[in-house]
Amino acid sequence: MSKNTESKLTTNPTPDQVASMNAANTAPVSTSNSVIPMANPEGPAVIKRDIKAELLALREKDRKPVRGMFKFYECQGGLLEFSFRKYAQDQVERYNLVDGQIYTLPLGVAKHLNQNGWYPVYAHVPGENFAQTVRVEKKVRRFGFQSLEFTDEKELLHENDGAGIMTVQYI
């Protein structure tokens, strides 16, 4: 490109310049106050292939089975029933999990249980001029999935059997 064209591109391009850049397989990149078109040398087909390959790799990783214990903090000994589907290619799968039981689940389901099983508790925070704002004070976990990758299964099952528990009383 000549210097004239470059100086015109660093300001706002004309509609003719934008049309010619779009036709030449370019994508605009936004800066603070102007649009600078940048060419993609490989073309859009390569980008789509890379995204599909990454998505396929993530899907395969999420299908990897992991072994762990389901914890239902909100209802000890309770049953949690839910349906799960993360990717469009997957079928909807139904899960029935009982608190304290050991399961082998796909990694994506285990992540879902650990990341989405909470609700917020809000608090009012005093601000300037007697104005109050609301913010999330804490997250209360409803359920989770504890991995057994680094924990012995026998230790986990017998952690609440009464051994080593001290009762503290106030006089």
- Which CA distances in Å does 30 have to 8, 16, 106, 158? 15, 18, 40, 58
Question: What would the two tokens of residue 79 be?
Answer: 């049953």
| Distance between CA atoms of residues 110 and 148, nearest Å | 12
* Nearest by Cα to 74 from 157, 143, 13: 143
Question: ∠ at Cα 146 (144, 150), nearest 5°?
Answer: 165
Contact 105, 68 (CB under 8 A): yes
pLDDT of residue 25: 47
pLDDT in tens, 92-103: 999 999 999 999
pLDDT of residue 116: 92
pLDDT of residue 31: 46
pLDDT of residue 1: 47
Extended beta strands in the chain, E state: 26-30, 35-39, 65-72, 79-84, 93-98, 102-106, 118-126, 132-141, 143-147
- If you write DSSP's letter for every residue of 129-149 in order, what string do you get? GG-EEEEEEEEEE-EEEEE-S
Q: What residue spans define the domains of the chain?
A: 3-41, 65-157
pLDDT of residue 44: 59
Q: Which residues of the chain have pLDDT under 70?
A: 1-48, 151-171
User: pTM for the whole thing?
Assistant: 0.58
Q: Is 46 exposed, middle or buried (0-12, 13-18, 19+ CB in 10 A)?
A: exposed
